[in-house]
Amino acid sequence: MADGIKDKVVILGMGCTKFGERWDCGPEQLMVEAFEECIQDAGIDRNEIQAAWFGQCYDEIGTGKGAPGLAISLRLPYIPVTRVENYCATGTEAFRGAVYAVASGACDIALAQGMEKLKDTGYGGLPAIDGVNSGTLPGQTLPNISAPGAFAQLASAYRAKHNVKYEDLKRAIAQVSVKSHENGVKNPKAHLRKPVTIEQVMASPIIADPLGLFDCCGVSDGSACAIVTTPDIAKGLGKKDLVSVKALQLAVSNGEEQGYKEWDGSYFATTRQASKRAYKEAGIENPREEISMFEVHDCFSITEFVTYEDLYISPEGGGIKDVMDGFYNADGQIPCQIDGGLKCFGHPIGASGLRMLYEMYLQLHGRAGERQLNDPKIGLTHNLGGFPFANVNAISIIGRYD
């Protein structure tokens, strides 16, 4: 009987580049920058890595369709390397591959790396992925759809379901961005590092009502990586205060949302499914009391807002009160986006999931500098790829090794 992966794998080391408009380097240099920090943190030689997983979404502007791009850039020692892609959950998918390999006993030490070089595309937003961003999904025609438009509909559905006034929802999602920018100011690796006010956010140009310019995350370049192993090997290397993987869960839309049967468009069915399974795997019974901090996929401010409830941290319909009360602020009960989130980092797709884990890892080791939280024990990360009606959702939970 499967019993999950709780505490079977620990993170030996992590690394992350500065995110932003990295015209100074190519994809290979980004990977090397993150890897050098990671391998130094892990305290091992690259020849000790036995397998690697590489997350990259846009092969045409990255290092190609296969795995040699990572192996060549990092000079890996002729080991198995697997390239993965799963929309915006690509970085977490790479991490999942490495963690599962170690948990299964297939290898002792594995690498997960994610990278994306988006600024070179020339797009103001994300290029099309299999036609998704241009308005079609396999076997379907969805004319005139865009990411801001689809997530604006999420906001409208939420407002209708919970009978929320337009101005109240607008102000609440503005506070989501204000909070993230306050945190991003303290992070030297973030792309955007300027504070904003609620008034600035609410007055920004409308992209897709009610989402304004400051409700949307930007486009950037970046890379992040992790090296994982077993607790016994980590202890044998002299590592103390280990950070272990408590849960990894993935849920993918099966088409029911697109049928508009029971789903009303106001939440993400996949987030609810993945989070319930992750909490069970991690042994968490009350996330509002047991989660210390979390990073969510704030591609738009409304996405973060709805995710508070889909993760069962805010009660359904209670997100407005929580965010306006400061529950998710850096000094609140459960800080969200303590590093600035996608809102301040941008979203180089292959890197985002691992970048989120990097922040949780630093916080758990007490190495987050100016933004360090007081004694965190459990961190959660959330990735969402696709549209509200067809998506991939990944949940990772890490914490201090028991």
Active site residues: 88, 347
CB-side neighbour CA atoms (13 Å) of 76: 27
What 8-state DSSP symbol labels residue 20?
B
List of residues 6+ apart from 193 with CB closer than 8 A: 184, 185, 187, 340, 344
- Which residues pair with residue 383 across a beta bridge? 394
Three-class secondary structure of residue 133 per DSSP: coil
- Residue 302: phi, psi to the nearest 5? -65, -30
Q: Rounded distance, CA 254 to CA 232, Å?
A: 39
Handedness of CA 308, 314, 319, 323 (dihedral sign): negative
Residue 2 CB partners (closer than 8 Å, separation 6+):
none
User: Nearest 5°: phi and psi at 126?
Assistant: -90, 140
Residue type at 285?
E
Local structure of 103: helix, strand or coil? helix
CA dist., res. 225 & res. 113, Å (int):
4
